[in-house]
Amino acid sequence: MSVLDDIVAGVAEDLEARRRTVPLEQMQERARAAAPALDAFAALGGSDPERTQLRVIAEVKRSSPSKGALAEITDPAALAASYEAGGAAVISVLTEQRRFGGSLADFDAVRKAVKIPLLRKDFTVDEYQIWEARAHGADLVLLIVAALDDARLKDFLALTHELGMNALVETHTAQEIERAVAVGAKIIGVNVRNLKTLDVDRSVFASLASSIPGAAVMVAESGVRDAADVEQYASVGANAVLVGEALVRHNDPAATIAEFMRTGSGALAARGHGKG
């Protein structure tokens, strides 16, 4: 069993416990009653034809399977507020508990603290989680192509759009990008971490970026240690970077985000445009 398979199995088990507490029909009612989702596609520059501004998706992340504990994060709302102050376009909140130490309670706290779009960062394996995300005020959900067959990927993306949200559709290979494009993904991430082995290869992004259509927002995920990594991703066309560890371990995440945006935007401007 791969690391991804093991994580997904745990997610499915925890999901069933929540479903017993709040049945799907009740969760759907809560989702329909929630305030409308914010436009994360626009926030990430999707509506900007030039795309010369690098966007940052800043992550509230306590731990990871590859690195273990990253930061205690006693106040996720305060951390998220600092991200917003630094200019983050979107905030990602881990809600997977077993491997990442996240929770929907973290998400709720952040939702109350910021006014920018939120990504509910979890391993989506059932439509219940999409309704659940919307009920808690999510504007984006994560759909990992490697964890879904074509039918579920298509159905989950359609449901996400039906609920007024967007999806970050995560890929790692050329074939996965083809599958994401085939279902009409508007925000496509390339995770340079192989979720089956947890190995990181930053060159993966450069090798795959040109396969992503220019109309889609292109997100570089994982492997960001400093501004040089952001510059490298932007230089080959990343419109946004998703950053967790480099922010939660920094004493001044707002300043770090601002630096990443300056550096990445400079690299995009040097290319002449932000499209792949």
**254, 216 contact by CB (below 8 A):** no
The residue from 84, 96, 170, 231 that is catalytic is: 170
Mean pLDDT throughout 15-43?
97
Question: Is 112 one of the catalytic residues?
Answer: no
Mean pLDDT throughout 130-139?
98
Mean pLDDT throughout 138-157?
97
Is the pLDDT reported for residue 65 higher than 80?
no
> How many angstroms separate the Cα of 155 from the Cα of each of 27, 75, 138, 231?
18, 35, 18, 35
Is the pLDDT reported for residue 212 higher than 70?
yes
The residue from 59, 176, 231, 245 that is catalytic is: 59
Residue 66: per-residue pLDDT: 66
Between CA 93 and CA 59 the distance in angstroms is: 6
Percent of the chain with pLDDT over 90: 76
140 or 270, which is more confident? 140
Mean pLDDT throughout 157-174?
98
**Which of 58-67, 153-162, 245-254 has the lowest average pLDDT?**
58-67
Residue 64: per-residue pLDDT: 66
Environment class of 266 (CB within 10 Å of its CB; exposed 0-12, middle 13-18, buried 19+): middle
Question: Is 13 one of the catalytic residues?
Answer: no
Is the pLDDT reported for residue 230 higher than 50?
yes
Q: Write b or e for each residue in 89-98: b if 16 or more Cβ atoms lie within 10 A of its Cβ, otherwise e.
A: bbbbbbbbbe
Residue 101: per-residue pLDDT: 85
Mean pLDDT throughout 52-66?
85
**Residues, the chain:** 276
The residue from 84, 96, 176, 221 that is catalytic is: 221
The residue from 61, 96, 166, 186 that is catalytic is: 61
> How many angstroms separate the Cα of 215 from the Cα of each of 193, 202, 266?
24, 23, 21
pLDDT band at 274 (very low <50, low <70, confident <90, very high): very low
Residue 171: per-residue pLDDT: 97
Residue 181: per-residue pLDDT: 97
Residue 245: per-residue pLDDT: 84
Question: Is 59 one of the catalytic residues?
Answer: yes
The residue from 92, 222, 239, 265 that is catalytic is: 222
The residue from 64, 82, 84, 121 that is catalytic is: 121
The residue from 82, 191, 194, 211 that is catalytic is: 191
Mean pLDDT throughout 55-63?
89
Residues 6+ apart with CB under 8 A from 73: 60, 61, 62, 79, 106, 248
Question: Is 191 one of the catalytic residues?
Answer: yes
Question: Is 115 one of the catalytic residues?
Answer: no
**260, 56 contact by CB (below 8 A):** yes
Is the pLDDT reported for residue 185 higher than 90?
yes
Between CA 138 and CA 155 the distance in angstroms is: 18
Query: pTM above 0.75?
Result: yes
